[in-house]
Structure 1
Amino acid sequence: MNIIIRRTLNLIILSNTKLLLGENAFMGPNARISWTQVTEQPVIPVLPAYIASTKITSTTIESPSIFGGTIAIGSGNNVFKADSEGIHLGNASFVNAPFRVSMDGKLTALDGTFTGTITGSTITGSTIKTATTSAGNLELSGSGFIARNTLGEKNGVVIDNGNFSSVDFYYRDQYRGGIAQTAGNLALTTTMGPIIIEAAQASSTMFRGKVDFTNATVTGIVAKFG
């Protein structure tokens, strides 16, 4: 089968046995042309030695090292970028990206799920919660500390971080008592049942300073003097 390529003034015919170039050059089946006999030789680039180990295919680039000003995957704000500012995705601008890591290692993310151990000298957040278990969870915020049950009710210790702080005790969102500091006073209160102050066996319960029973009803005390 012949392959025919037509040009304006020339005709090239290539077959299994001959090559015809125009009307003045004919080559038989055993003809050869030496490269040194070709005039006006074209420049054939030589592969640089530094990319000898590089492999580029239609789908992959394999190299020990890749250097460049910016690496981008995607376009617009649906993009991942690595450049001199760091790595970021979700926005074409580094400072507006919802996820970004700066060159000094600072991580910014709008949300995340982490497993394992998080180690750091300072953890800052508006609210820090533990995972909910069969016993409930703990919640730490600028307002204080709250223990909750599985229903989300205050249940256990609640520490208030106001000007007059307190340590309160709750059962299923019901206040049962606590210790509060108000205007220089320290108050121990209960909403159900007695307040019991008990020392260990063979130890004493001691009061120092003035004891005022003016507004109290005292029972079971036998006065001893001297």
Structure 2
Amino acid sequence: MSPIRVLVADDQPVVRSGLATILEGAADLLLVGEAGTGRHALRLAAETSPDVVLMDIRMPELDGIAATRALVDSGSPTRVLVLTTYDPDEYVYEALVAGASGFLLKTDSPQRLLDGIRAVHAGESLFTPTVTRRLVERYVEAPPARPPADILPQLTEREVDVLLAVADGLSNAEIAARLYIGEGTVKTHVARILAKHGLRDRVQAVVLAYESGLVRASRGIGQ
């Protein structure tokens, strides 16, 4: 099996060096480049076709949000895993909407970073619990953009169950256990949800669940 190709984008050389060291210690991961700005990250992404980009939010020339949006809008299959310095990062929500597939704190353990890269590459969404709580708060601050009735007719009852579980931050295996169905069946339901609403990945499905009002303010991920 080919290694997962990873591009690191961060404006701090010491952070890039540390991430590179962590990646080089994993046999199933391959570091294909390091970028210090958002524009450099986009150039390297076009040249090296990484599977995953570790993207810092605050970078010169072009920040991580704009770089993520540009990468997604280009049609690239590359997944973006955003690394945030502080838990209460006000830009996390914007990065998610731009197309990021997950978030980790730079203070997370090396093993969590490696597992996060693998999860995002496999199509899972990834959130640090505390970052997730802030995202939920942001979603429920405003009224739903459209009522649940707008999306429910397009989804089967089981697909609604799966969407709610995705919004709870559960993995495919955890959803399968909750709903007493096979993991392959979960993957099929998730794929259909994404296709019906023209969504790129599970993260956008979470956005749909919250912004539509399907998930109410009284609920939080993991509850």
User: What is the TM-score of this pair, normalised by structure 1?
Assistant: 0.20
- Higher share of residues assigned strand: 1
Structure with bigger helix share is 2
Higher RCO by CA contacts (8 Å cutoff, separation 6 or greater)? 2
Rg (Cα) greater in structure: 1
Q: Taking structure 2 as the reference length, what is the TM-score of the superposition?
A: 0.20
